[in-house]
Chain A
Amino acid sequence: MAARVEGIAGRRLDKAQYAENFADLHPRLTGHEALVEADRCYFCYDAPCMTACPTSINIPLFIRQISTGHPKNAAKTIFDQNILGGMCARVCPTETLCEEVCVREKAEGKPVKIGQLQRYATDELMAEKKHPFTRANPTGKKVAVVGGGPAGLACAHRLSMHGHEVTIFEARKKAGGLNEFGIAAYKTVDDFAAREVEFVLAIGGIAVKTGKAFGKGLKLKDLQHDFDAVFLGMGLQGVNALGAKHEDADGIEDAVNYIAELRQAKDLGKLPVGRRVLVIGGGMTAIDIAIQSKLLGAEDVTILYRRGPEHMKASAYEQELAQTKGVKIKHWVQPKKVLTKGKKAIGLKCDYVKEVKGKLEPTGESLEIGADMIFKAIGQTAIDVTGGALALSGGRIIIDAEKRTSVKGIWAGGDCVAGGQDLTVAAVDDGRRAAESIHAYLMS
């Protein structure tokens, strides 16, 4: 039972309740469950799931390997394409990727649980504590990777496999990127993100230098000089502004920052959360912060989104998950002004809006909602940290199919590039492809 303390407060729940609330969303399949689920796969020809996977994992093959009693071979099949297959199994919106196109989704509305099978397989191999890949003979080439998130890790791993020496420059205190500092806690329990980083680095040949970022001593020019190639995968640094009055009032938080804090918290009870929480946004971050606020003991949590459910970047499954956890989602409302008492935010005034010729227009009606805490989850923005060296589009780095930037010797991938999908799995694919391109470049 949550303590109904007004305002923003920690310790709303007892210890056991925090533990229960933040337990694994989908506990791993047992061996028998995995066999039964694997048997549902039809081993499709030119399988749609494989095409839908941004990293093109050979899904029918890995499922068949599970069904014949070799989950570790299955994991190898997964890691061949996606070294962060363990995290992707937990956080991929499979309902809009592989499982959406599974023929059993079409046949009976129940796709093969590809994500859960992938988790089963990768868990089995990772428990072995034996890295499944070996490095090629040393090439003597050195590559700098900026950013230790999914893109950087995937790139570094593949480069190391090809025998190159890699140095990862990471801005934070530890590598992992959004896997470690973003993503809902209940999707990656038991410090999985950190364990996965350890697993990736176990191939050897990858040095991680933390506390290193552009603008904080790290210079692109130096990297170009000191290394044979550079990969940029530093994600996004900025957070979109709301554009509402009194946006800087107390009690208004960036969801991204709050989640980072939550992910690193040793004691969830120390995290203060409002009794009544508003979340502004329609993407995964909005869903993640809304659910986690609820799990931290907030009594009422409402997501405000300016368009309809079908426009939300969060999938229908994620929206439903939030609603199941007791989160309310209000559509077609746009924050106009933060209501304040002194310096404190006490609510939001919103306009009801409608779409006219693709643009949002106020309907003339408005609404005031009280709150102790307001989260902004309206997207991250790119800040040009490379000092104008690279061609950008909308602030993000322009790359070609091989992930090459406009400058020879520099590749980029993940959230910092233009036209991306802002997904872990897409970042991993960028990293691996870039590594292959870098390898070809270095060896030619």
Chain B
Amino acid sequence: MADLRTNFVGIKSPNPFWLASAPPTDKEYNVVRAFQAGWGGVVWKTLGEEGPPIVNVNGPRYGAIHGADRRLLGLNNIELITDRPLQINLQEIKKVKREWPDRAMVVSLMVPCDELPWKQILAAVDETGADAVELNFGCPHGMSERGMGASVGQVPEYIEMVARWCKQHTRMPVIVKLTPNITDIRYPARAAMKGGADAVSLINTISSIISIDLDNFSPMPSIDGKGSHGGYCGPAVKPIALNMVAEIARDRETAGLPISGIGGITNWRDAAEFIALSCGSVQVCTAAMTYGFKIVEEMTTGLARWMDEKGYRTIEDFRSRAVGNVTDWQYLNLNYIAKAKINQDLCIKCGRCYAACEDTSHQAIMQSKNGKRHFEVLDNECVACNLCVEVCPVEDCITMVQQTTGTDARTGRKVNRDYANWTTHPNNPMALKAAE
């Protein structure tokens, strides 16, 4: 049986599944229920500095996009950091950590951009016996207007500065949570590293307007007829998160920087993909908010079974295995030839491949043969774009088949099995000339 235990920058947990800093981790009651359900750890919902509690709106905080059967695909929220008194949160963190010593207890923090407030709150968290802190530089709404959250995360210099303060004032590992609302995620990651952060976690939510009410023309969720941008999360953001994680994992400067992966993780498979891109733990929120805490059972058993089937004994056995395969376009093998192939036994003749190819792509699929409805790929037109594969409603009906011998019917060129990429391509004016 696979061993799911993880040790992420010294934070130990029985499995890599942590609940992300968010409503599910706002208080003892929720966190204890989460631990009872089997979650490996939590990042306690962001604490702010001592003082009058945070005020949230009294109207709706969430909006969502749904699939046809109300499957929640993307969620957006305008909730702020914890609105409970700091001391109560600290007492509860201490109590829960004492009662659940084997679980990861990370505390998310967000205070103004001065050294003193950071120093003070770190001392208070130190007291609780928590395993680590996560600096919330990502929250895109509300707090960012007050100079915190994403407004810090969008300025690499601030990240570096705050990270450095934190490392000076605490014994605990420091994780910097990054905002995706930035053009190049590598800059804030490098800044966190320079500031001495032990790890980064990403992505936080993406600035978003989930929808417009076409009756009153208010953005949703609507507060008395007005709406504000919120933070977008859930299954829909996973591809964005995977890319940002990969960018950091393969960047020369940040390679090896521990990453806690966040963004649309809904099941074991999503988690495995983040881990394959080097994440040492994964954080989940929307899936738990949609289905409740019990989904972690599917995640742990699913990941374990897959590891068993693949022969991976520990998480480390497959962690980072995908990083080396993420490359730039210019290094992709231009001599790799593939053609779409439609399995006629599986084809149900819906013609979606034909419509997609004929209307929007390369006119490489025929729609009839001998007067009968029949869909077949024309190798002399097929560029192997994969669109037909993706629009086909039948799994594995259309596949991409590599051509390893003969001539490419489309180009008339002989298949060359040697690797060759754009950097040496004759059409590239910047091509590197082979050494004479």
Contacts and interface: CB of A to CB of B under 8 A. Distances in A.
Given A104-B348, A107-B348, A107-B394, A45 B68 contact: no
A38 interface: yes
B349 A106 contact: yes
Given A38-B68, A103-B350, A106-B348, 16 more contacts: A39-B68, A39-B69, A42-B350, A42-B393, A44-B351, A45-B351, A45-B352, A45-B354, A45-B367, A46-B373, A48-B349, A48-B373, A67-B68, A103-B348, A104-B348, A107-B393
Given A48-B373, A107-B394, A42 B68 contact: no
Contacts of A67: 68
Contacts of B351: 44-47
The 3 A-B pairs of least Cβ separation, nearest first, read A45-B351, A39-B68, A45-B355
Contacts of B373: 46, 48
Nearest to B397: A107
B69 A45 contact: no
Interface in A68-105: 103-104
Interface residues of A, number: 17
A46 B355 CA distance: 9
A61 to B, nearest CB: 13
Contacts of A106: 348-349
Nearest to B368: A46
Contacts of A42: 350, 352, 393
Nearest to A45: B351
12 contacts: A32-B70, A35-B68, A36-B68, A38-B68, A39-B67, A42-B352, A43-B352, A45-B367, A47-B351, A67-B68, A106-B348, A106-B349
A71 to B, nearest CB: 14
Contacts of B348: 103-104, 106-107
Interface of B: 67-70, 348-352, 354-355, 367, 373, 393-394
Given A103-B349, A107-B394, A46 B68 contact: no
A107 B394 CA distance: 8
Nearest to B358: A45
Centre residue among B67, B348, B352, B355 by max chain A CB count within 10 A: B348
Interface in A16-35: 32, 35
B68 A44 contact: no
Contacts of A45: 350-352, 354-355, 367
Contacts of B68: 35-36, 38-39, 67
Nearest to A104: B348
A8 B113 CA distance: 94
B359 to A, nearest CB: 9
B367 A46 contact: yes
A106 B351 CA distance: 13
A42 B397 CA distance: 15
Contacts of B70: 32
A103 B394 CA distance: 11
A99 to B, nearest CB: 14
Contacts of B367: 45-46
A42 B373 CA distance: 16
Contacts of A38: 68
Q: Which of A45, A104, A107 has the most CB of B within 10 A?
A: A45
Nearest to A46: B351
A48 B349 CA distance: 9
